[in-house]
Each structure stands twice: as C-alpha cells, then as structure tokens.
Structure 1
C-alpha cells in the first residue's frame, strides 16, 4: 500500500487555481522531490497534505485513509506527519532540548524522561549533542534548521514533508542540512521535499515531479527528468536553472 496518494487534487485561492488535478503516489521509503518555478504550487501541495489548507476537489489518502474527508481527525493525521518549513519556527524562549521534546510530551503523551532520552539520541546522531541546552539564537542558521528537522523526527512520523528547507540558509550552511536529509533517506524515511537544489534533487530522489502553473506536468526517475524530459516547459525550466548555477 502507498503511504500517500493524491487523486485529482484542486486548490483555489480567490478564484485562481494553484493546484489543478494533481495525481501523485508516494510509496514506502520513497523520496519524491517537487521542482518548478516559484508559484508553481509546490508548497501549497505540501500544505494540503498536512491539512493546513483545505482542498477544493479531489482526495488525499494517508495509508489508505482519506484524510480530506471533513469528518477526519485533523490532529490525529498531523501526529503521523512531520513538516519542516523554510523558516525554522523554533520557540526562541525554549532550549533545543525543550523544542524537540515538546510535541512528544504534549501531543503524543511520551513521558519526559523517555522523550529527553530519545531527543539526546537524535541530537547525537546528527552531530548536535553539545547544543541540547542552547537557545535558538545561539545557533547558526544551519544548526537551527537541523534542530527543526530533528524536532519533526522526534514524533516518529510516517511521512516527512520538507518545504525548501535550505532556501533561507547561506550557501556554506546548505550542506549541513542536505547531509541530514541524505541520512534520513539512507535510514528509509519516506519524504516529499520541495527544493531548488537540482544537483541534490537528482542525487537523492526516487521520483522527481515538475509542477508548472499548478499542473503536475511531468514525473519520473531523476535520470529521465534531468536528461530526457518529455515536455518543452520542463526543458526550459531546467535550462534556466542550469544558467543560474543551481546545478
């Protein structure tokens, strides 16, 4: 069974369709990357999956359950998802440890001692054990984003959603965050990510989806999308990205 399935998903804002009949399937342990120009609908798609936006037509299924059903337990669905945005969104008045353990304790009912033990394990795994008692403003941007990813991982999500998690970082810090995503793939985490890092996308993805004007115009393995795209619009986008030096 697929982890996630989108069937004919439409989303409108003020009479403008930003997602237009999206069909997508994400299998267990698969990494699906969404690429396309700004405004193509990538972030909106992730927000619809996390139920931060209500779809106007179509359906989304998580492990076979329709989560776009109006009767669904939204909080219950979000417990099974981890999402990380461009902005780190860490609580500035909390230490790294408290940021990471908040959701496991308050939402999932994990005892404090166990939540902290698991948090220390994640911090050690990703090279941040010495930062457990630091506050967000004492961390670099790359460290803050790594903590944001660890915070999402602490709830042991079924699916991780990563929305341009490197776009707010200085170039020298991007590799820190890409390294953590690569390790998540190696550990078998199922992920959907939006990115402008085309070289990384080509390397890490099982499936690449090109969105244009809210339409999922083309999808396939990275070798196909990056070397033999079927659509002229895909070729045009990749050419512009290549010229901008993002490959």
Structure 2
C-alpha cells in the first residue's frame, strides 16, 4: 500500500528550479533515504510533502488523497505527518512533558491524563523517563533531538519526515539519535529522511534516492546505489563522500 505518492513535482524559488519533476512512491513501513549534496532539493522536497511549501506543478498524495489540492485541509494533513527538523524547535518555556503533549491535547483533542500517559510511555521507551519535568535547556543536544522525535510520534502519524536530524549534533551524540530512528524502523514506521550519514543510510534504508540539482537522478536498494550506482552523477557524489571520510 502506498502511503505517499509524489507525481511530477516542481518547485521554483526566484526563477531557480529547486525541484524538477520529482516522482516518488513510498509504501507502508518503507524507509526512504534522500541523499545528495547541500542544495540538491532534499529538504525542499520534505517541506513540499508537509505543505510548508506549495508546489508549482505536480501533485502529492497522502494515502490516496491529493494534499496539494488547494481545497485540502492542511491541519488534517499535518495531523497525519510527523516532522523533525535539524533544529529541535522545542518550546524553551515548557517542560519536556508539556512539549510532547501540546499537539495531542490542542490539535487532536486528547485529554491531559491520556496524553501524559502516552508521553511518559514514549519517554520511557526511548530512555528519557527521568526527563519528563526537565526543560529543554537542561538537556543535551541528543536528548533534545530525541524529545523532538517523541513529540512528532505522540500524534501517531502515518508518515515521519526527518530532515538531517543529526547534523547539529556532536559526533558523540549522533549514535543515540540514530538508535531512535533504527527502533522506529523496527516497529514499522514509514519514514522519509535526509541524511549525510551514508553508513547509517546504507544500514537502515529500504530505498535510497540520489538527488542532484533538483532532479531525482537515481533510486534503488542501498546495495545497488552504494555498490553499483548506474548514473555517473551518483558515482561522482559517492566518490566525493568517500574521499571526505563521511561514509
């Protein structure tokens, strides 16, 4: 079953085509990794999926519904999509528990007691049970990013979008966040993530998509993309990554 279908999506900023006719289908329980150099369109594609950007041409379908239709209910769409960005975007004046329960209570209409029980369960699952009453500035970067992921999970989304969620972290903290994402995969969460962590991408992805200058140049299994890429631009990118030591 397709959770997400992207058909011929174009996006233009000030005369520059950032996305050029992107086609992509994401199936239930599938993990799709978007790779490519900075500026290749990866983050813009995620922003089009969760309707933070409007597409100039083409369409995006979530569970068969065209969400890029101007008549689509944006709030309803975002209830079904969880998004985590590079910046944690936690509310600094609210405790971890309040950060996590805000959307379930105010957007989904869940009572405080139920929302807090669910939040505490998620915090325990990801090793943060003792941080429920803490404020974000008392957490490490890795802990803040884990809370951001838990906050997105608390709305029980059909699709998770993860945009370079480890890029702002010290190397020592990257592993704990990647561990959370690996657990999400193990539980069957459908995800699209952008990452520069090629080794992790190879380990976790079902499908890898290489974007270059707004074009989805090549997609395939991790084994295919990383060991036998079919396009010269993919080979050049991976060669550069290997030389930089980021693999």
TM-score (norm 2): 1.00
How many Å separate the matches in 1 of 2:180 and 2:198?
17
Spell out the pairing of 1:22-33 with structure 2 (5 A cutoff): 22-33=22-33
> Partner of 2:146 in structure 1?
146
What residue in structure 2 maps to residue 198 of structure 1? 198
Cα distance in 1 between the residues matched to 2:177 and 2:143: 8
Deviations for 1:69-124, whole angstroms, at most 9, x for unmatched residues?
A: 01000011000000000000000000000000000000000000000000000000
Match of 1:196, SS state, is coil
Shift of 1:181: 0.0
Render the CA deviation track for 1:166-224: whole Å, top value 9, x for unaligned.
00000000001000000000000000000000000000000000000000000000000
Map Cα deviations across residues 151-178 of structure 1 (whole Å, 9 max, x no partner). 0000000000000000000000000100
Are 1:55 and 2:64 an aligned pair?
no
Residue 91 of structure 1 is matched in structure 2 by: 91
Structure 1 distance, partners of 2:92, 2:185, is 29
2:72 matched to which residue of 1? 72
Report the counterpart of residue 122 of structure 1 in structure 2. Answer: 122
Aligned to 1:6: 6
Could you tell me which residue of structure 2 aligns to residue 103 of structure 1? 103
The one-character-per-residue Cα deviations of 1:19-74 (angstroms, maximum 9, x if unpaired) are 00000000000000000000000000000000000000000000000000010000
State TM-score, norm by structure 1.
Answer: 1.00
**1:221-243, Cα deviation, whole Å (9 max, x unpaired):** 00000000001110110011111
Question: In 1, distance between residues paired with 2:105 and 2:246?
Answer: 40
Q: Do residues 180 (structure 1) and 183 (structure 2) align?
A: no
Q: Secondary structure at the match of 2:2?
A: coil
How far does residue 126 in structure 1 lie from its aligned partner after superposition? 0.2
CA drift at 1:244? 1.1
Unaligned runs of 5+ in 2: none
* 5+ residue gaps, structure 1: none
Q: Distance in 2 between the 1:167 and 1:84 partners?
A: 12
CA–CA distance in 1 between the matches of 2:63 and 2:15? 31
Match of residue 245 from structure 1: 245
Cα RMSD, aligned residues only:
0.4
Please give the alpha-carbon distance, in whole angstroms, between the structure 2 residues aligned to 1:129 and 1:244. Answer: 38
- Rounded to whole Å, the distance in 1 between the matches of 2:57 and 2:143 is 39
